[in-house]
Structures are given as structure tokens and as C-alpha cells.
Amino acid sequence: MLGLAFSAASMAQADAPDANMLYNHHCAICHGASRLGGIGPALLPDNLSRLKRTEAVEVIRDGRIATQMPAYDELLDESEIAALAEWIFETPEVEPSWTDEDILASHVVTYPDGILPDEPVFQVEDLKNLFVVVEIGDHHVSLLDGDRFERIARFPSRYALHGGPKYSPDGRYVYFGSRDGWVTKYDIYHLEVTAEVRAGINMRNIAVSADGRYVLAGNYLPHTLVLLDARNLELIARIPVEGLDGDTSRVSAVYAAPPRNSFVVALKDIPEVWEIRWPKERAAGDETLVGDFSLHRMAVPDYLDDFFFDPEYRYLVGAARGGRGGQVFDLDSEAKVAELPLEGMPHLGAGITWELDGRRVMAIPHIDRGQVSVFDMSDWTLLTQIETDGPGFFMRSHENSPYAWVDVFFGPHHDRIHVIDKQSLEIVETLIPEPGKTAAHVEFDRRGETLLLSIWDDDGYLLWLDANTLEELGRMPMNKPSGKYNVWNKTQYEEGTSH
């Protein structure tokens, strides 16, 4: 037996499967000859960073339910599957590019803007109390009626949506961004995708201007921003991200800053913050013009990432690289105004604010330690650090709710979720809705009376709770539900939700 095993292993070594050839034969037709994606997602190391290698083997062998990815267990043997799964994590020899021509070629408009009637094809009490729920388990999105807690539609999304979907100001349309660079516009009233375009190869997120006219996408790969017309997602400009010193940079994230009529851009590799004003006002002294848009570059004392904004969008709080704390940057005076004792990895994007004793406070969870830091925003002093049962990721509240919710996503107790009293700044309840399964990401209905909580599992569900008594009101099975987004809360920039 031993001898046989030995000789089989040696033969396998000699005849090691040619992964490149296997890829061209079986995968390229859907995932693209250069691994940039096609019907299937891009198979490049950065795009696959959310996928474990063992999962890659399983997907190739067993396929993906509810997608066009078939099972290859009958066509490929174990060693071939293993070789392919290894190979897709290797950096390609030539860095892939994504040009204007690629963007234009990817653009599809199924229903041109204005062609579909204004009347919704379904009836609900309140169109502003709808929720969009992203189900990352099988890459789908559900649309829910927030009054009756019923599903109106469920439709396939692009592979690996990331960041919050963004609504048009009237709440009729929702825009999604995928890690593979796809921007999708969906007409909620007609339950149809109306337009799509691929803005990059590895995208971070998208933002929609407060006037609803523009969409901005930020990419890791290539180092670009892509500005789109929100009506049909036509390309307006592809903006190379190059710093004052000539270095190019990945985009960490893009944000809309409604009171400033601008987009604000966080950059990963250069110590600058960019602001792009949409063509309503143009600030004096802007050095670069992008069509009618003005691009304003601000040098910052450090590499700043993961932004939180005060409600007026004057101050930006960013995390300094290497866990060296948080910095408050005044977008008007373009100066650092405070340093925050935020060592490690604060998750500023998940921060929320509320009124406490007549002043505004900001609370943020930390990705690498079990605490929530609470600051007085009038002078940026640290009020307290609330100890939690582990590192968290998302925080949520609502103006009408006495509670703030924070998960402990990354810790061993990820099945717990804390309820914090916004006045005493103490944890008053810790729920364990489903032992062993991650409980994360809360979103309130528009009135702040009820809330949705994800049981973040392939065999997961949404929980529907009374926001005051914390009593369970219902549940709905879902495939790894992640973020949930209420139309009213998002379009009104409600203080307890992400923007």
C-alpha cells in the first residue's frame, strides 16, 4: 500500500496539472481570458480576498447554488481542482488595465431613464419605509416592505456587493457597487435593473450626489475614480488618482457630502484628501477641472482612511495609517484640528452620533479590540470607552431610539449583540439570538420603532424586533443577510445610520 501511495504521489508531481491551460479551457469563457471577469466574477487575488482557499476548492468542485457557476467534480479530478484554486490566487504577470473603452463596452442600459412609468408595480403603505437587504451568501438582494415585514422582491446581484447601496434622493432608485467594479442601477418601483456599467476591476464603493445626478465609484484597481451620469450610468470621466508628488493611489472609499455639494475621497497610498464639487458651485482656486467638476486636493498630515463626518460635513475624522490614532481634519480651513486617542483599528465608517446632555457625541466601534469609543464632538474629548464582549464592526441607532446597537463581529462571541443606553453610555442588554451564529448589522425602520438584525449565516435569517421592548416580532430566512438599508433613513441622512 505504502509503495503504491508513494509512486502515485511521484506521478502526480511529474504530471502536475497545468492550471493555466485548465483555466483557459474551463473558466475563461465566463471569468474572462485575463481573469478580469465576465458573466462570472474576476478571479484575481485582490478580488478574491474575501474567499478562503478551501472555499475556492469547494466552489470549483460543487458549483454555487443560484448562480451560473456549475460543479466541476465530474470534469476535473481533485488535483486539477486544487491546482486551479491555487492558481487564481496568483498575481497575473501583466497588471490588468481598465480603460475608457472597457468601461464603455461594459455599459448596458435596459430601461433608459424616464421610460418606465412613475407608478410602482406593487402597493405598500409607505414607499419611504422600504428596506433593501443584501444577501451575500448567494449574491442576492431582497426588497422588503418595512411596515408589514413582507418581501416584495428578491433578485440576483453582482458578485460580492460591498458598501452600502445608495438611493436616489426620492428613494425610487437604488445603486449598488460590487467588489468586481460593477455599478448597477435598480428601479425599485418597477423591480428592474435599468442600467449597469463596470467602472473598474477592484472597486471599493460608490456614492451618489445629493442632487441625484451623479454617481462616483472609487477603485483599488486601477487607481481611478469613475464619474457617471446617474440617469443611465453613462461615463462622464475616468479620473486617474495621482498625488501631488506624482505617486498614484488606491481609493479607500468615496463619500457624498450633501451640504458641501461635493464628493469626498479617501486615498490609501497618498497623504491627501480629495474633494470633487459637483457643478453647482465651484470653489475659487481649484486647480484641476474634470469637465464641469472641480477637483480640489488637500494635503493631510498623514495617510487617512475610513472616514466619519460630522452632520454638517465640515469635519472629517480619519484613521491614521498603522494604528496611530484618529485625526480630525477641518475641510474648510484644511487643517488638522485634533488628534483622537484611537489606537488600533477604529471603524470610523460605522460611527454614529446623538445628543447627550445638550452636546453631540460620536461613537465608534473598534475592529481589533472589544470597545466602543465615545467622543464629545464639541471639543473632541474622549468621554468614555465602553467595554464590549469583543471587536465589533457595525453600529446603529435612530434619532427616536434610546439605544445604540453594536455587534462583536470579529470576536469569539460573535453571536452576541449589545444594546447601549445612549444617555448612561452603558450596555443595558446583550442578546444572543442564535447561539453560535453571528448576529450583526442593525437597521431601524423610518420611525425608529422596529429594527432588523441579521443572523449572518448561509442558513441565516432576519430578525424583526421591537426597538423599545427588544421583543422579537418575526423572522425571515435569508442566505447570509449582511447590510440592510431603509429608504427614509438613508435619504434623510438619519443620525443613527451610515451615509
Interacting residue ranges for ligand DHE, rule: CB under 6 A: 49-50, 136, 162-164, 205, 253, 306, 349, 393-394, 482-483, 498
Q: 22 or 203: whose CB is closer to ligand DHE? A: 203
Quote the CA–CA distance of 103 and 88 in Å, as a whole number: 23
DSSP-derived secondary structure letter, 435 = T
Q: 271 or 483: whose CB is closer to ligand DHE? A: 483
Contacting residues for 133 by C-beta, under 8 A, at least 6 apart? 141, 142, 143, 144, 452, 462, 478, 481, 483, 484, 485
Q: Whole-number minimum distance, CB 252 to ligand DHE, in Å?
A: 6
Q: Whole-number minimum distance, CB 255 to ligand DHE, in Å?
A: 7
Q: 98 or 410: whose CB is closer to ligand DHE? A: 410
Q: 129 or 205: whose CB is closer to ligand DHE? A: 205
Q: C-alpha distances in angstroms, 27 versus 19, 64, 86, 87?
A: 10, 14, 14, 12
Q: 391 or 483: whose CB is closer to ligand DHE? A: 483
Q: Whole-number minimum distance, CB 18 to ligand DHE, in Å?
A: 31
Quote the CA–CA distance of 367 and 149 in Å, as a whole number: 31
Q: Could you count the other beta carbons within 10 Å of the beta carbon of residue 213?
A: 16
Q: Whole-number minimum distance, CB 499 to ligand DHE, in Å?
A: 8
Q: Whole-number minimum distance, CB 33 to ligand DHE, in Å?
A: 26
Q: 6 or 155: whose CB is closer to ligand DHE? A: 155
DSSP-derived secondary structure letter, 169 = T
Q: Whole-number minimum distance, CB 459 to ligand DHE, in Å?
A: 17
Q: Whole-number minimum distance, CB 54 to ligand DHE, in Å?
A: 17
Name the amino acid, one letter, at 293: F
The strands making up 202-208's β-sheet, listed across from edge to edge, are 202-208, 214-221, 224-229, 234-240
**What is the SS3 assignment for 98-135?**
CCHHHHHHHCEECCCCCCCCCCCCCCCCCHHHEEEEEE
Quote the CA–CA distance of 316 and 20 in Å, as a whole number: 46
Could you give the angle at which helices 78-87 and 53-62 cross, rounded to 10 degrees?
130
Q: 102 or 306: whose CB is closer to ligand DHE? A: 306
Q: 268 or 296: whose CB is closer to ligand DHE? A: 268
DSSP-derived secondary structure letter, 25 = I
Q: Which helix (H) or strand (E) holds 154?
A: strand 150-156
Q: Whole-number minimum distance, CB 409 to ligand DHE, in Å?
A: 7
